[in-house]
Chains A and B, each alone.
Chain A
Amino acid sequence: MTAVADTAAGPSRRRAPTGLRSLADAWKHLQTKVGVIITLLIVLVAVAGPYLAPYAHTEFVDLPFGKPSGDAWFGTDNLGRDVLTRVLYGGRTVVVMSFLSVVVGMVLGIAFGLVAGYSRTWLDDVLMGTTDIVLAFPHLLLTLLFVAMAGPHKWLIVLLVAVGHAPRIARLTRGLTLDASRLEYVEAAEAMALPRWRILASEILPNLSTPLMVEFGVRLAISVGMLAALSFLGAGLQPPEADWGLMINENRSALNVQPWAVVIPMATISLFALGAYLISEGFARAFAGVDRQGIRT
């Protein structure tokens, strides 16, 4: 016994736990850094904006579609309100709601996907059948329909956007779970007859975290677009609230006269989506085991 030790060992450098390591690996990529900076900037504008705004968001400052001036740096909107003020006020809802809808969608989707992928019985068919039915309806139309019936409540919009995300997240999670549950450490837990929820929570889920983080970023970008589209179509926030999507709708008729009222909210929405996408791209690269120079490791 005492004379034997394994001989094939390499130098064992201490490394961070795998979960933290994928964060660290993702951070190595330029995409992640740029994405985080952009996202933080937009979140800062959205959160701190109302405190920095020169006017109240419903205050009339100038004539409608006024040109940029010393009083209103980016001019005024269709009712003569300050565009800068409206932009600073209008981010909070989209940022908070997109984030919440992705969190709710992820929780729903991951729960469905884990159970479906692990059970491999009729339950799988039932759960995946349900997601297929939801997938069969166009997401935006379905959301518009429910908002038209029940009214534009914020919680309803968050829930509807989340329900739209859930089936795709469930599909992804199920596929990953199918692969992960065939691995021998899951079989080892099976042989011990560990409770199923513990196998799912401690053996399977932690190993899906990196691809799911990629999905989180992609879903966030989609949510932002979705919420902006809902506002633009009138099913989101209602006037006189300030909201980036709504601003585009309100001011698009004067695009050639006072473009700032449309261009600025468009830019903030796009940047937020881009930031979320870049972060998820960084994770995707870390997940695929690609290092900074684009070399697979």
Chain B
Amino acid sequence: MTVIDVDGLRVELAGDRSPIVDEISFTVQAGELVGIVGESGSGKTTIATALSGHFRRGARHAAGSVAVDGTDMGAISSKARQDLRGRVIAYMPQDPTAALNPALRIRRQLEEALTAHRIGSNRAERRGRIREVLREVALPDTDDFLSRYPHQLSGGQQQRVCIAMAFICQPKVIVLDEPTTGLDVTTQAQVLETVKTLCERHSTAAIYVSHDLAVVSNLADRVLVLYAGRMAEFGRRAAVFNSPAHPYTRMLLSAIPDPKERKSTHVRTGRTPAPGEVIDACPFSSRCEFATERCTLSDPPMVEVGVEHAIRCHEHETVAAVPMEAAVSAPRAPDDRADALLSVKDLTASYGTNPVLAGVSLDLFSHECLAVVGESGSGKTTLAKSIAGLMPAYDGTVSYRGRELARGARSRSTEERRSLQYIFQSPYRSLNPRKTVGQAIRAPLSHFFGTSEAEASNQVAAALERVALPSEFARRFPDELSGGERQRVAIARALVTEPDVLICDEVTSALDVSVQASIVELLEDLREQEGLALLFVTHNLALVRSIADRVTVLDRGTLIETGAATEILDRPSEDYTRRLLAHTPTVKSGDATGTILGDSGPDGGRNGRHSS
């Protein structure tokens, strides 16, 4: 039975009527899970919210129809739509901490949906339904739990409460908008397993919106790949992942790091049309290795390339003839190790009475990349910040070239500060919005070297070139740049001081996969050409194989194992590492339903934020 029928959907900007998404057509059957994949700005969330008849302000429904369970969402009154929301189509938002009202107990939040739709004739009946749905999402159904406030739950539990809220009225359709973005791999795997089981049990149709191809490949029955607001490829999971037919899908798949093999990812130059930009060409043509003149003249139509497998590409026959090569590069031979460049001994730190790091020791040698891996709360950022002098309250020693470093950056010598450079997680917050790129890069130059204005602008241009950005960028403000460009600027700002060590704190976690691949490639090149040592802090084990020589695994502030990257990823000796590896989503293309959950049980509250 078709539960969702989207036909020729077009959503435009209200002002200049340019399309945000266009020509979107697909259907979803009861019990089926369809994944919608795309990078930021590709229109995924616009489609997800359009399913419940909602268009964000400034956007309007211009053409096409969305039918949910036989009802045309555009043809009914807003009151009728409101009645359908929650009861027939439920929406599960991205961030559970923002979706739950911090002032209401869990019981009230769950009960609200029931009373709004007048489900359950009396309080006892509603409470019964609440307990039932809590058991379904593997949460305790005790009064104690129901009386808690959202902040008393762990991130995984909060997300489960959101799942319970979505399923409580037994909807026909559930729309999941990147529901696991903020969660650890282990928690993510368990949450996804719960969603999948519930959808199967109640034959609920699900739309799963994500930028993470690996997660979708584990979960979805069919996959819709979006690019610049248009469908690039749509087909069964096996078809899309085994024989991706659209050049964009192929590029995405090759950009995903894999913990099992070392990939040398290479992402092509080009520019993605912005949402609402009017184009008369194939939107992917500027980045496509197969692009011909035809591609720059007209937008291709959707063509069938197999059973239930359609793509939008002029050159699909040429593309199909070229096999997708797995670019596997050999791991680097370890360098001759002399003395450690940077050496950490017995580092212990705490927030108040809460221990964050317990006796961590590690060495970083010149020219090498050491990855520090752990889940959130493992203390990896605290470790990185302590080394950089941004977190002076620690015990133990950090020494650079054999000399112990002072704890705070201000007490260290200029030379020491210059040699250790830190790159922050979020390029959206690490650049001052009121300073141009040029000013941001000039600040360390004048501070460390006293470089004159005129000389500095040459060096800024050179620094931008090193990170593959045009020199005109010096005059731009950060909000005129994309996330990846901003991160390049942050890297350029660190590079102008000619450092020996770059501390990279989750530098790719705020970026899309193809951008992540290009940043990793840039860091790799810099390390090879300039002999930098990298301390690469990440939660993403899959990335480690692509970049690191050695790996250190942190769990709740203790270092549990250190070794060569290949060694640890292939033969982890600790349970914790094995579990992390098992839960790291990788692209699975087989027909068998991927099991996402490893060997551990449901969310055991590893995030440990319970308070009562």
Contacts and interface: CB of A to CB of B under 8 A. Distances in A.
Contacts of B57: 295-296
A15 B414 CA distance: 36
Interface in A207-249: 207
B390 A6 contact: no
A131 B609 CA distance: 37
Contact of B271 (A9, A18, A193, A297): A9
A289 to B, nearest CB: 12
A142 interface: no
Contacts of A194: 443, 447
A110 to B, nearest CB: 16
Contacts, number: 137
A188 B515 contact: no
Contacts of B268: 3, 7
A213 to B, nearest CB: 14
A295 B267 contact: no
B266 interface: yes
Given A2-B468, A6-B515, A6-B518, A191 B388 contact: yes
A188 B422 contact: yes
Given A9-B485, A188-B493, A193 B514 contact: no
B477 A1 contact: no
Most buried by A among B273, B410, B521, B522: B410
A206 B271 CA distance: 32
B432 A185 contact: yes
A8 B390 CA distance: 31
Interface in B410-432: 410, 412, 414, 417, 421-422, 424-426, 429-432
Give the residue among A8, A207, A295 with the most B Cβ atoms within 10 A. A8
Contacts of A133: none
A19 B434 contact: yes
Contacts of B483: 8
Interface string A3-26: 111111111111101110000000
B41 A1 contact: no
Contacts of A14: 480
A190 interface: yes
A208 to B, nearest CB: 10
A192 B269 contact: no
A187 interface: yes
Contacts of B469: 5-6
Contact of B468 (A4, A18, A191, A295): A4
B432 A10 contact: no
Nearest to A1: B525
A11 B286 CA distance: 14
A15 B444 CA distance: 26
Contact of A206 (B39, B409, B430, B434): B434
A140 interface: no
B471 interface: no
Given A11-B277, A183-B429, A191-B390, A4 B434 contact: no
Which secondary structure characterizes the binding site on chain A? Answer: loop
A62 interface: no
Contacts of B606: none
Chain A's interface size range is 35 or more
B70 interface: no
- B266, B435, B529, most chain A CB atoms within 10 A: B435
A207 B432 contact: yes
Most chain-A CB neighbours within 10 Å: which of B266, B274, B512?
Answer: B274
A176 B412 CA distance: 29
B430 A7 contact: no
Contacts of A1: 466, 468, 522, 525, 529
Contacts of A202: 435
A187 to B, nearest CB: 6
B523 to A, nearest CB: 11
B433 A207 contact: yes
Given A4-B468, A7-B287, A8-B39, A192 B417 contact: yes
Contacts of A13: 480
Interface string B251-275: 0000000000000001111111111
Nearest to B505: A184
A254 to B, nearest CB: 55
Nearest to B467: A1
Nearest to B413: A193
Nearest to B274: A10
A15 B481 CA distance: 12
Interface of B: 39-41, 57-58, 266-275, 277, 287, 388-390, 409-410, 412, 414, 417, 421-422, 424-426, 429-436, 440, 443-444, 447-448, 466, 468-469, 476-477, 479-485, 488, 490, 493, 511-512, 514-515, 518, 521-522, 525, 529
Given A7-B287, A8-B40, 18 more contacts: A4-B522, A5-B269, A6-B485, A7-B514, A8-B39, A8-B483, A8-B484, A8-B515, A10-B41, A10-B272, A18-B477, A188-B422, A188-B490, A190-B409, A191-B390, A192-B444, A193-B414, A296-B57
Which 3 A-B pairs give the minimum distances between C-beta atoms?
A: A10-B274, A6-B484, A184-B430
